[in-house]
Structure 1
Amino acid sequence: MEPNYTKEQQYLKAKKRVKDIKGFYSHLMAYIFVNIFISIVILYGLTSSEDFSFSEAIRHFGVYSTWLFWGIGLFFHWLGVFGFGSFIGKSWEEKKIKELMKEDDDRSNKILRK
């Protein structure tokens, strides 16, 4: 059961959630556009020299390295906004606290009944 929040608290909580989601989508858009630009520049640089054909250049790790490493950071950002909340967020903490308190009460009641 969720705690009773005032309308102002609900608004502030929802506003923060929207800000977090908006931040993730801004990060995602920057990731896509910047990585496309970087990949095009690297491919152009590799193919303009006579060292690489296009098929060799497209398989070059430099073309994908930014996608990969920034993608790892983006994944953790996604987990922070959409994934971790359900596992170890505030609601999970509150549920776990209530569960542990109930277990303590049950143990105390068993001892008192004996």
Structure 2
Amino acid sequence: METKYSEAERYYQAQEKVKEIRKFYEHLAVYVLCNPIVIIVNFMTSPGYLYFWYSLLGWGVAIILHGLKAFDRFPFLNKEWEKRKIDEILEKENNKQKWE
């Protein structure tokens, strides 16, 4: 079943997608700007213990996940999964109403 969207709906969806991508780039910029500060503070305060790796790796994983979601590369929980889940829920509701 193919859904047909009006021009306004398609424009709105495209606009939302652009906002999501912009938020990813903002997140990436904050990551790139903040982590050098964390590294410098680490070397100035305790050069014997390099804790900046926790920030780089933890936040880096979050950046990767955000990018996968923003660019629709997430291997699961994507638009197809959402559609299947919606269809499944609607079918359950229809079956439930038939038996009542």
Superposition TM-score, scaled by structure 2 size: 0.68
In structure 2, relative to structure 1, the CA distance for the partners of 1:93 and 1:41 (3 Å cut) is closer
**Alpha carbons 2:24, 2:70 under 8 Å: kept:** yes
> Which residue, 60, 66, 69 being the options, matches 2:58?
69
Superposition TM-score, scaled by structure 1 size: 0.61
Q: Secondary structure at the residue paired with 1:61?
A: coil
Greater share of helix residues, 1 or 2? 1
Aligned residues: 85
Provide the C-alpha distance between the structure 1 equivalents of 2:39 and 2:10, rounded to a whole number of angstroms. 43
Match of 1:43 in 2: 43
Provide the C-alpha distance between the structure 1 equivalents of 2:77 and 2:5, rounded to a whole number of angstroms. 20
Quick check: which has more Rg, 1 or 2?
1
CA apart distance, 1:90 = 2.0
CA apart distance, 1:65 = 1.5
Question: What amino acid maps onto 1:22 in structure 2?
Answer: R
The list of structure 1 runs, each at least 4 consecutive aligned residues, that deviate by more than 6 angstroms after superposition, is none
- In structure 2, the gaps of 5 or more residues are 88-100
Question: What amino acid maps onto 1:5 in structure 2?
Answer: Y
Matches within 5 A, 1:8-27: 8-27=8-27
What whole-Å deviation, never above 9, does each CA across 1:40-85 have from its counterpart, x for those lacking one? Answer: 1111223xxxxx5xxxx5xx4312211111111111111211212x
Matches within 5 A, 1:1-114: 3-46=3-46, 52=47, 57=48, 60-82=49-71, 83-84=73-74, 88-91=77-80
Seq. identity, %: 32
In structure 2, relative to structure 1, the CA distance for the partners of 1:40 and 1:17 (3 Å cut) is same
- In structure 1, the gaps of 5 or more residues are 47-51, 98-114
CA apart distance, 1:92 = 5.8
CA RMSD, Structure 1 to Structure 2 (Å):
2.4
Provide the C-alpha distance between the structure 2 equivalents of 1:43 and 1:69, rounded to a whole number of angstroms. 19
